[in-house]
Structure formats: C-alpha cells, structure tokens
Structure 1
C-alpha cells in the first residue's frame, strides 16, 4: 500500500465486523495514540485521522476561506467523528439516531434519523 499511495493521506477508514474491531482496536491504537486520533463509527468502522485533523478543522478552514462566521454555520452529525464539528458550529445538530456522546455536544437534536430525512426536516423547521 505504501508504494501505491504517493499522495498525502489525512484519513484512513478500517472496515471490519464489530466483534473484530472490539478485539483489536486497543492493539491498533496503542502504538499510534500520539500521532493519530481514532474514532469508532457505527458497528463496522474505525476511522483513523492525523491528530488535529477533523471535520471541525475542515469546517473552520471553509469558514475562513469564505469569510463565514461560525455562528452562521449549521452542522449535522451522528457519530464520534462529528462531535468536534458540532461543537465548532454555531448550531450543532445531532441526529435522532446519533450516539449518546455526540448528542451531548450538540446544540439540539433532530426528531428524525438519517433514514427519515432528519437533515432536510430540521432545515425546513429552522428556515
């Protein structure tokens, strides 16, 4: 893989059954905890990102480039990898099916899940 990837890689997604992730995540993360952030996303995913690289830093950069105050930003999320972004946004919205920890970081929570068009319904309520 190192030979094939000739460009910077800010994030890697490991996709395996949840029981395998449960078993091996401590072994995978321990040697790299100072270099990378690790997020368990749903049942099958382990997201690995360069420390300090997150959806929040990406959103902050977009705000800077387009001169948008963070107070004017609405962000939606449902998993641990969304928590920093929801905290950064002027209005962080957790999905009804979101993880409990993410709901704690949100300004508000939709009444609907991702599969029930929760983002669209919330935007219609707000706008």
Structure 2
C-alpha cells in the first residue's frame, strides 16, 4: 500500500501526474484485485482522483466506475462518500452546471456526516463553498 500512497501523493501534488496514476492502476490490478482485498473501492476512488489531477476525465470516470462496481459486488461501502465527492469534482471539471455539481457534493457531505467520515465531510464542505464563491457567469 505504501507504493500506492506514494503514487497518490505524487499525482495530487503535481509531481508526476500521468505516470503516477498509470503506476497506481497497475499496482491496484496486480495486488488488490485478484482476489479482491479490503480497500479496493477506496484505491479505485483515489486512482480516479489521480486521473482527475492529470486532467484525464474519461480515465477518472472509468476508475470511479470500477470503484462503484467494487462496492456493489463486495459491499465495501466505506468509500461511498469519497466516491460521490470525486464524482462531483469530475462533473465540475467537465463544466457541468453548478447546481448539478452542488447536489452531488451535498449528497457526499450528508453521507459523510452520517457515516462520521469527517475528512470527506470537510472536503465536501470545501467544494460547496468553492461553488458558492464562484457562481456561473
């Protein structure tokens, strides 16, 4: 996992956006997917965040889709609020209406609060504040 964490850190800090995401994707497939291990949905979500940081929105959506499929198949629901938050960020990056992005961010916040995922709740609050500060023109 430490290699995955390094990949995530490199990607979200801008050190090696595409390379870090590609490496993480390979590591997830090689070490977490078969057999499926705990945290698989979370790592696919974080892979989506890496692709988002790299501006690769289709790849981000694909990673989030794999995370959602993992949740549905294996019930690893602890990542759900993070995945909603990242979906909102991808929608924002795609230029979707603020109301659409805000609704997904609000769902992410509500689920985070319900599940006491305080870090994700704060991130959802920050996104909502960002949307409020930058209304459509």
Taking structure 2 as the reference length, the TM-score comes to: 0.31
Taking structure 1 as the reference length, the TM-score comes to: 0.33
Q: Which has the higher strand share?
A: 1
Q: Which has the higher helix share?
A: 2
Structure 1 or 2, whichever has the larger Rg, is 1
